[in-house]
Amino acid sequence: MHFLKGLVVSLLPFAALAAKKPAADKFQQFHTKALSSTPLKLDDTIYGQLTSAPRDYSVAVLLTALESRFGCQLCREFQPEWDLVSKSWTKGDKKGESRLIYGTLDFSEGKMTFQSLGLQTAPVLLLFRPTHGPHASADTAPLRYDFTSGAPPAEQIHGWIARHLPDGPHPEVHRPINWMRIIAVTTTLLGTVTFISVAWPYLLPIIQNRNLWAAISLISILLFTSGHMFNHIRKVPYVAGDGKGGVSYFAGGFSNQFGLETQIVAAMYGLLSFATISLALKVPRISDPKTQQVAVLIWGGVIFVMYSFLLSVFRIKNGGYPFWLPPFS
């Protein structure tokens, strides 16, 4: 009996080694796979294996839904950045010193996982830190990255991962040089230069045309003063429903607007300006008294009605505004 006990005790280290070996292997196994194609395409079973509890390596998994029927815009926008992070990391760390595996689990292949994690939204980026080994962290629950403001660039993800794996190397993100784009830009540039040099005699009168420049200036002024930059920066909706099946053209609230609304306002300003210009420049140049009289009445009427409408629109935006002109009160 004592002998047997001694035997067992002396064998224990080997058993421990034997038990430890597969875990080490697991990383090597996945890492070699990752070297050929990263991030690894996962399904429910591989995901289970990869993230199962005793692990001495880290895993970063992106849970996503790329298929078009899910309509996940963010997933598709983020995917190339994610591929870039994982590719440049794996490339920069061929020996696997950072002990980090990248994986992607699509909803179509990992329904069970999505269910078991109780995920309602995608994409979700999880970082599993090692449970034992030299870099083990006390907190076994995976870290979750917040997609708060659109698809983050690869560098941001890299920074987040590097922050949570303080030890080990952090291979930088290398953006591949986009040859196609450089070639396209050069070709377009050369083409434009050629075109301009050939067509210069025809282009010159157009460039020097005062009417063209006047039109460009006025249009840009109208765009800017009707709040186009606000639309551009805040990405406001073009129109919105009014909740009764109709369309509401004007957003409620003083510092709020719709895309269509600004276009209506720009059109109103444009019409008012045009009427003013006509009254100031064109009408005094009409040589026929009758026509002139009619023109004055028309343009004057246009200004009056339009301005009244503008005031009434402004009253929608600013409830307490007290001024108005007749037709639209």
251 vs 240: CA distance, rounded Å: 8
- Measured CA to CA, the distance from residue 316 to residue 257 in angstroms comes to 12
Nearest CA to 81 among 179, 159, 188, 156?
A: 156
Q: How far is the CB of 14 from other proteins (least distance, A)?
A: 39
Which stretch in 80-88, 98-106, 122-130, 267-275 sits in contact with other proteins by CB under 8 A?
267-275
Figure out which of the listed residues 66, 239, 240, 272 binds other proteins, where binding follows CB under 8 A. Answer: 272
User: Are the C-beta atoms of 265 and 250 separated by less than 8 Å?
Assistant: no
Nearer to other proteins, 95 or 285 (CB): 285
Min dist. Cβ of residue 254 to other proteins (A): 5
Is residue 73 within the footprint of other proteins (CB under 8 A)? no
Give yes or no for residue 281 binding other proteins (CB under 8 A). Answer: yes
The Cα 124–Cα 151 span in angstroms is 12
| Residue 293 CB partners (closer than 8 Å, separation 6+) | none
Task: Tell me which H or E stretch contains 59.
Answer: strand 58-64
Which residues, 6 or more positions from 222, have their beta carbon under 8 angstroms from its beta carbon?
Answer: 266, 269, 270, 273
State which of positions 118-137 bind other proteins (CB under 8 A): none
What contacts 24+ positions apart, CB below 8 Å, involve 277-283? 279/303
Supply angle C-alpha 191, 194, 197, rounded to 5.
150
Between CA 232 and CA 251 the distance in angstroms is 16
Tell which residue, 77, 70, 79, has the closest CA to residue 107: 70
The answer to whether 222 contacts other proteins (rule: CB under 8 A) is yes
CB of 300 to other proteins, least distance (A): 6
Total interface residues for other proteins by CB under 8 A: 66
Whether residue 296 contacts residue 308, with contact meaning beta carbons closer than 8 Å, is answered with no
Binding to other proteins by CB under 8 A, coded x per residue (else -) over 157-196, reads: ------x---------------------------------
Q: What is the DSSP letter of 175?
A: P
Q: How far is the CB of 142 from other proteins (least distance, A)?
A: 15
- Applying CB under 8 A, does 292 fall inside the site for other proteins? yes
Binding other proteins (rule: CB under 8 A), the pick from 74, 133, 162, 230 is 230
Under the criterion CB under 8 A, does residue 322 sit at the interface with other proteins? Answer: yes
Decide if residue 51 touches other proteins (CB under 8 A).
no
Instruction: Name the segment binding other proteins (CB under 8 A); options: 69-77, 97-105, 186-194, 307-315.
Output: 307-315
Instruction: Give min distance, CB of 100 to other proteins, in A.
Output: 18
CA distances from 61 to 120, 127, 188, 190, 305 (A): 16, 6, 40, 45, 62
Among residues 80, 242, 280, 327, the one that binds other proteins under rule CB under 8 A: 280
Q: For other proteins, which is the closer residue by CB, 66 or 268?
A: 268
Residues making contact with other proteins (CB under 8 A)? 146, 148-149, 163, 210-211, 213-214, 217-218, 220-222, 224-230, 232-234, 254-257, 261-262, 265, 268-270, 272-274, 276-289, 292-293, 296-297, 300, 303-304, 307, 310, 314, 317-318, 320, 322-323, 325
